[in-house]
Amino acid sequence: MSLEATVVDHPLVQHKLTLMRDKNTPSAVFRQLLREISTLLTYEVLRDLPLTTKKIQTPMEEMDAPVLAGKKLVFVSILRAGNGLLDGMLDLVPSARVGHVGLYRDPVTLTPVEYYMKVPEDIGDRLAIAVDPMLATANSASAALTRLKEVGAKNLKFVSLLSAPEGIEALSSAHPDVPIYTAALDSHLNDHGYIVPGLGDAGDRMYGTK
Ligand code: PRP
Ligand code: URA
């Protein structure tokens, strides 16, 4: 099995992730930790953003100073749990555009059901970063990336918090052009498609719905 993903194993990320995994961590703390980790992940994911230069005047002299090149990027949240990563990303790139793909995973068939889609019209001209904390079977992520390509996205990355090896394998074979970033690669999926050891249901833990 070939596993194509960048694992962001910075000690701060790993420490915060351990706190998130703990079943006794309350929702408010869980959300705050997710926000903090997403900022750290974003820093790594955007490491290769292209730069150009512009002339500015410092108090000392004129210089050609580096600035980000191209159109502003787009963060795409895969609802609902993807929203937990958004604010931390926007803390780092406040001018980014935001898209949403609403999907939930049918608990029996584990297939994704789409209920919402809204992204910038010119997504094809921008780097689009799709985010969802959990990459389990990858059915949801794969469907979201397919939809984003259908509406024109050409330059995509996918960011998750936790991934199963099965999900990385499935997503990289369905979308070999999309680099995957994750904070941890866990052991396996259980019979219900949950990541083990994982952290449980990300949406429920964020919003206290179970
Ligand atoms: C969770 C998670 C992913 C999906 C991962 O969402 O946020 O979207 O499951 O599983 P997969 O890789 O097997 O598709 P869920 O369907 O629970 O919806 P929610 O975000 O609305 O809670
Ligand atoms: N969705 C989750 O929220 N958690 C898992 O472990 C798998 C899918």
Domains of the chain: 6-49+72-207 (3.40.50.2020)
Cβ of 203 below 6 Å from ligand 1 = yes
Alpha carbon separation from 207 to 20, 31, 40, 81, 144 (Å, rounded): 13, 8, 22, 9, 22
In angstroms, how far is CA 91 from the centroid of its own chain? 14
Choose the residue to mutate in 20, 186, 195 for probing ligand 2, maximizing ligand atoms within 8 Å of C-beta.
195
Q: What is the pLDDT along the chain (210 residues), one digit of tens a residue?
A: 456 899 999 999 999 999 999 999 999 999 999 999 999 999 999 999 999 999 999 999 999 999 999 888 999 999 999 999 999 999 999 999 999 999 998 989 999 999 999 999 999 999 999 999 999 999 999 999 999 999 999 999 999 999 999 999 999 999 999 999 999 999 999 999 999 999 999 999 999 998
Cβ of 160 below 6 Å from ligand 1 = no
53 C-alpha to ligand 2 centroid (Å): 43
pTM for this predicted structure:
0.96
Q: What is the pLDDT at residue 75?
A: 98
Query: Helix or strand or coil: residue 15?
Result: helix
CA distance 198 to 184: 9
Q: Alpha helix locations (H) across the chain? A: 11-21, 27-45, 83-92, 139-150, 165-174, 202-207
Residues designated catalytic: 105, 109, 201, 204
Ligand nearest to the Cα of 187, by number: 2
